Amino acid sequence: MRTQSTYVYKDCPYIKVDVVFSPIGLMEDDDDRVLIISRPYLAFPVAD
């Protein structure tokens, strides 16, 4: 489900934030609401 995601700062891949969403509708949408955003933190980049 798309209720949580981690975002990475493009200029420095070590800086990240975690975001919790309240989904609107069935598909991922720009209208999804942000419920919680974490403080920025440092973490090693991950490659899938």
- The pLDDT tens digits of the residues spanning 1-48 come to 578 999 999 999 999 999 999 888 767 677 788 999 999 999 999 887
Question: What pLDDT does 1 receive?
Answer: 56
Per-residue pLDDT reduced to its tens digit, 34-46: 999 999 999 999 8
Which residues, 6+ apart, have CB-to-CB distance to 11 below 8 Å?
none
| Distance from C-alpha of 32 to C-alpha of 3, rounded to nearest angstrom | 9
Question: What pLDDT does 24 receive?
Answer: 82
Nearest Cα neighbor of 45 from 18, 15, 4 is 15
